[in-house]
Chain A
Amino acid sequence: MQLVLNEDQELLAKIAADFVREHSPVSRVRALRDAKDPVGFSRELWKQMAELGWLGIPYPESMGGAGLGFAELAVVLEALGRTLAPEPFLSTVLLGGQVLLRGGSDAQQAAWLPKLVKGEAILTLAYQEPRSRYDPRRVATRAEPDGTGLRLSGDKIQVLDGHVADALIVSARTAGDEADADGVGLFLVRAGAEGLEVERQLRIDSRNASLLRLRRVPAEAVAGGAELLERVVDLATAGLCAEMLGAMSEIFDVTLDYLRTREQFGVPIGSFQALKHRAAQLFIEIELARSAVMAATRALDEELDDASSLVSLAKARCSDAFVRVGNESIQMHGGIGMTDEYDMGFYLKRARVAELSFGDAAYHRDRWARRSGY
């Protein structure tokens, strides 16, 4: 594993940074929030990202993708994270699409993945439930045979982009009790299916999440159970970490600028040692987070045995670091940082949501310890 960007990745990073600067300022997130936008992201920009080839990065060329890996995708997600771009990468490219890529039948893949790569289909994964917290294997939703088909019943929460998804992958049980490790399967449900109720939630970060109520909803099976589910959540977690890394780097840069220019007592406040040391500590946290994210994405690409542990390493580290950088950035900005007019609040809100998505730091320390045999 090489923890350094190669030339192609450097170039991709530059293209992504230029694109974000030109098309995706953080004011876009504010506008979507203030307008209570019914979609919650820009379909036009999503289409442009598809044309740049970003949606197809981790999909094979036969489906219109680039056949690249998560190291490359992370470069793009980090750039988008810098301005909190709300487009549906996590739900579509990393969750729903990856389940179909790894477990879908030829027909399912042909029906959805070329469209996904072109930006013409939004997919998502519904796996969390009111009682499951972060454990993907804890599933109460049931899949029951109905003639030649299947019907799902249960409730799902935190379904990313659920209200605009064209297809939803839903975890459900064919056997066993809620907490049993075995008996979990994955199923494809189409938007607008009979018995499916999707309700959009409003969370602090203004990003799309939905509640799902499934009452005997017709569904088709996708191959792969809890193991595939866990692997796909790992992929999405690594992607989220890259986004978090970009966002924390951005507000740290903004805060450093502020420390250099804001004057009190006749001097720049960045000359005060109390603030210098705290800034230096944040720098260390971010550098360590970067190492972990680079290692996790490369371990996933190379399918290393400890890939899941490295994903937990990255998520624990990014969760703690992003929240800390968010809190400190507001503190160092003083009153201006508390105003809604200033952008800092958007980052802190996203930090908190990201922290509690796919498992918080304590969850991932527990997972690391279990995977390490203690």
Chain B
Amino acid sequence: MGELEAFREEVRGWLLENAPRSLVGQSSSQLEGTWGGRKATYPNPDSRRWLDVAAERGFTAPTWPTAYGGGGLSPAEAKVLQQEMRKLELPLPLIGFGLTMIGPTLLQYGTEEQKLEHLPRICRGEIRWCQGYSEPSAGSDLASLKTRAVREGDTFVIDGEKVWTSYADLADWMFALVRTDPEAKKQAGITFLLLDMETPGVEVRPITLISGSSPFCETFFKDVRVPVANVVGTINGGWTVAKALLGHERSMIADAFGGGSGRGGGARLPELAREYLGEANGGVADPLLRDAIAQNEMDTRCFHLTVQRARDAAKAGHAPGPESSLFKVYATELNQRRYELMIAIAGPQGLGWEGPGFDAEELARTREWLRSRGNTIEGGTSEIQLNIIAKRVLRLPD
């Protein structure tokens, strides 16, 4: 424990010395931060400085090996770093799919060359990544994907279409699933590969969602040539890699939606209710909404306790228990119910799209509510999650 406390002192000193003053106190959650990449813009130049100085110290990817640009910290040390950053309410120096999805996957399945090429650039925020998984006819049934990759010597030639590629318009590289053997059984003919979005033949079109905007895009491939060396895992063995990556994605989504996260969703429900509905007997005036608020807050507490239970069990050396399989489905449904409730509390003030009569927070909240409807679809629908629980945890027959 003594060593960890010494590390805490060291980290605290380092943060006070190196974190830009203008960013201290700017983030109440650990979800905000800079995405990086070639196309990155920095409204506050200190965000860029923070990224650079943190990357230099290995703190953008604290637990990755130092050889690849990480911090080489133990999980306990990484937690100390997180706690100290949270105390200062600092935004993360870097966020994105490089750190949360492709990075961990490369650490597990990448060749040494791939790790050395990509991981340091991820840590320094030089390359922003996007995910090419879903296709128009391959949603929940992802393994039915059709984008073709035909081998010509040392290259694959790719033709097809991906959809729901988050931030494809801002990303530099994509990790994608392509079909390399059309004759094989669905899962068996798929390959996981990495491609530069600047390769000729890649075209990106943004998608507008019911919330009015979105990070999502369609990505089209026409005779796109990718080196065979960019395959992660084995040719036709991409499904194994893809499933591992989906695991990383689901834990990230569960982290993100464990109770309101966006600009309009941060307010506590009881305070919001007091503001819009007034008080009676020291409590929220509307008894039905008060009950619904209590239900939501209690559900949220139960969820957080369950996450804690999984962590405590892991710390005690137990294998992951069945409880972790519920995180994605429950966290996302909880987030939806929370936004539904916020709109109900705001009443007519929850209906604003833009323009006069609504403040910025109300407008943000309305759009975040609309956006939240996608939470139970993206990253594996709730129905798919329930199928997984039924099969893997409850051992119900196919």
Contacts and interface: CB of A to CB of B under 8 A. Distances in A.
Nearest to B302: A288
A279 B299 CA distance: 19
Give the dominant DSSP class at A's interface. helix
A291 B389 CA distance: 18
16 contacts: A3-B308, A4-B318, A260-B396, A276-B386, A276-B387, A277-B383, A280-B385, A280-B390, A284-B389, A288-B326, A288-B330, A291-B305, A291-B308, A295-B305, A313-B302, A374-B270
The listed residue with most A CB atoms (<10 A of its CB), out of B282, B297, B305, is: B305
A287 B322 contact: yes
A281 B299 CA distance: 14
Contacts of B385: 280
Contacts of B330: 284, 288
Contacts of B184: none
Interface residues of B, number: 43
A256 interface: yes
Contact of A271 (B290, B301, B396): B396
A3 B270 contact: no
Interface of B: 270, 273-274, 282-284, 290-291, 293-295, 297-299, 301-303, 305-306, 308-309, 312-313, 315-316, 318, 322-323, 326, 329-330, 383, 385-387, 389-390, 393-398
A287 B306 contact: yes
Contacts of A373: 270, 282
Interface of A: 2-4, 256, 259-260, 267-268, 270-271, 273, 275-277, 279-281, 283-284, 287-292, 294-295, 313, 316-317, 362, 365-366, 368-370, 372-374
Contacts of A283: 322, 326, 389, 393-394
Given A313-B302, A369-B283, A260 B297 contact: no
Closest 5 CB pairs of A and B: A276-B390, A374-B270, A291-B305, A280-B389, A3-B309
A369 B397 contact: no
Given A288-B330, A294-B309, 19 more contacts: A3-B308, A256-B396, A260-B396, A260-B397, A267-B397, A270-B396, A271-B396, A271-B397, A276-B396, A280-B385, A288-B299, A288-B305, A291-B309, A294-B305, A313-B302, A362-B291, A369-B270, A372-B270, A373-B282
A365 B274 contact: no
Nearest to A374: B270
Contact of A291 (B274, B284, B306): B306
Contacts of A284: 326, 329-330, 389
Given A270-B396, A277-B383, A292 B318 contact: no
A279 B394 contact: yes
A256 B326 CA distance: 18
Contact of A279 (B282, B308, B383, B396): B396
The listed residue with most A CB atoms (<10 A of its CB), out of B284, B301, B316, is: B301
Contacts of A281: 386
A288 B386 contact: no
Contacts of B383: 277
A368 B294 contact: yes
A3 B298 contact: no
